[in-house]
Structure 1
Amino acid sequence: MMRMDFLTLFPEMFPGVLQSSILNKAAEKESVQFNVHNIRDFSVNKHGKVDDYPYGGGAGMVLTPQPVFDAVEHVKGAANVVYAPRVILLCPQGKPYKQADAEKLASEKHLIFICGHYEGYDERIREHLVTDEYSIGDFVLTGGELGAMVMADSITRLLPGVLGNDESAEKDSFSQGLLEHPHYTRPADFRGYQVPDVLLSGHHENIEKWRKEQAVKRTRERRPDLID
């Protein structure tokens, strides 16, 4: 079973996502265990303070290293395992997160997500604690929580037995370097909009050929960078 731990200042953001849909079903199947921790609980400051002004001046507040280090060390100890977890920092400066990263991380046993707020993190968190830094896009969010939940969803659905059909994940967009082909279901005629004849033919070889052609066509039109 995979374990995912989320270190955050806003734990109330997580239940709605982790306790719904595929993620909830995965937890019920014991394919994954989710744990959410409040970084403030690890602060040695009597007021639970976790941020401070940046050395050298500047706008905003910086997340201090002490509560983050202590939180990660606590989680590692609680896991009580011999393997080293991946400690993931969500930040705009991180590596762009791709489907290939989700596939790689899905083979891990333990992931720890650090979700920051404020102006940024004390650099010593990056240098001495984190194994991976990821960004989910070229835009700035108010914190790392949404990025962590996006990553958790994309990873969990790849775990064995989580989806009803493991082939569903294998044929997703990006998994084979292309966007996914179009899908149709009943009725075959909806307000005059017809399902392509090939999908109704029952000829599996022709259907697969059509799907591949459509995937290439859609990728060229919408994401030519994936082909070029």
Structure 2
Amino acid sequence: MRFDVLTLFPEMFHGFLSSSIMKRAIENRLVSASVVDFREYSTDKHRTVDDTPYGGGGGMVLKPEPLFRAVEDLARNESVRPPVLMMSPQGRPFTQKKAEELSRHSRLILMCGHYEGYDERIREHLVDEEISIGDYVLTGGELPAMVVMDSVIRLIPGVLGNHASAEADSFSTGLLEYPQYTRPADFRGWKVPDVLLSGHHAQIERWRRQEALKRTMERRPDLLDSADLTEEDRAHLRTLNRDDGPSEV
């Protein structure tokens, strides 16, 4: 999978792409990434990419010419232009479902804005989708672009090594992830639940499912409205609603 990132601050991506899982994914040729300073596509001697807004007002607005030229150059050898994603607080909320959808593309172009905003013609005629990572404002689209890339790249087969790791993550099943434990079995008197030491896989899976339901109900009950729940799940939730104590296995 290939990512092309359009930004005015390419240096922000150096550490992100040269560390941890991102670095391994690139070294193993599962992912490629280019970070493009779209100031290079400005044609005036000052390399101008922004200007004051028509109608007045504060701030500066990104001009359409450099971004159109950048995208057209990146896609010049493609029979179909890759999706262009704009990082924007006006976009649709980014979710695990959206990450899974994006991971099915072979290439994505991510656009990082700065200043007051974009010339509206960029939105109308160049961008395929606007994405927001939350209801707050950042100084630019670089951090959101990294969030999107990280979330998508870890879903690519082979990136995590164990595909089950991604499948069990919070939100991947529609629920928050169940509690995890490792050695020692007894730490300062806090013990790992007996069921996890039993070796009984069916009981372990049942415990994990029930704990995921419990954690979701306690922390993000809104997720239950769209989760794919079985009748057993619903029965367990009714039990949890009646009993504020720990769930029974």
Do they superpose with TM above 0.5? yes
Which residue of the partner structure matches residue 76 of structure 1? 75
Deviation at residue 82 of structure 1 after TM alignment: 2.6
Aligned residue identity for 2:7: T
Deviations 1:162-181 (A, max 9, x none): 11111111111111110000
Candidates 216, 232, 241, aligned match of 1:219: 216
Partner of 1:134: 131
Letter of the aligned partner of 2:128 in structure 1? T
- Segments of structure 2 that go 5 or more residues without pairing to the other structure are 226-249
Distance 1:177 1:112 in 2: 28
Match of 2:57 in 1: 58
Structure 2 residue corresponding to 1:185, chosen from 171, 182, 187: 182
CA deviations 1:175-220 (Å, max 9, x no partner) are: 1110000100000011111111110011101100000000000001
Structure 1: which amino acid aligns with 2:220? R
Mapped to 2, the partners of 1:136 and 1:196 lie a distance apart of 35
Q: How many residues in Structure 1 have an aligned counterpart in Structure 2?
A: 225
The alpha-carbon deviation at position 19 of structure 1 amounts to 1.0
Question: For 1:55-105, what per-residue CA distance to the aligned partner results, in whole angstroms no more than 9, with x for missing partners?
Answer: 01111000000001011111112xx33343010000000000000000000
Provide the residue aligned with 1:40 in structure 2.
39
Superposition TM-score, scaled by structure 1 size: 0.97
| Aligned counterparts of 2:98 and 2:27: Cα–Cα separation in 1 | 25
SS in 1 for 2:75: helix
Q: Which residue of 1 aligns with 2:192?
A: 195
The code of the aligned residue for 2:186 comes to: D
TM-score of the aligned structures, taking structure 2 as reference length: 0.89
SS, match of residue 113 in structure 1: strand
* 1:89 matches 2:86: yes
Q: Which amino acid in structure 1 is aligned with residue 50 of structure 2?
A: D
Distance in 2 of aligned mates of 1:37 and 1:105? 20
Runs of 4+ that moved beyond 4 A: none
**Relative contact order (C-alpha < 8 Å, sep 6+): which is higher?**
1
C-alpha distance in structure 1 between counterparts of 2:66 and 2:78, whole Å: 22
CA distance in 2, matches of 1:223, 1:8: 34
**1:115-164: per-residue Cα shift (whole Å, max 9, x none)?**
00000000000000001110000000000000000000000000011111
The CA RMSD measured in Å over matched residues stands at 0.8
Find the residue that maps to 1:227 and give its secondary structure. Answer: helix
Secondary structure at 1:27 match in 2: helix
Max Rg structure: 2
Distance 1:207 1:124 in 2: 54
* TM-superposed deviation, 1:39: 1.1
Q: 2:26 is matched with which residue?
A: 27
Pair 1:174-2:171 in alignment: yes
1-structure distance, mates of 2:147, 2:7: 15
**Structure 1 residues not aligned, in runs of 5+:** none
1:209 maps to: 206
DSSP 3-state at the match of 1:94 = strand
CA distance in 1, matches of 2:137, 2:120: 19
**Residue 238 of structure 2 corresponds to which residue in structure 1?**
none
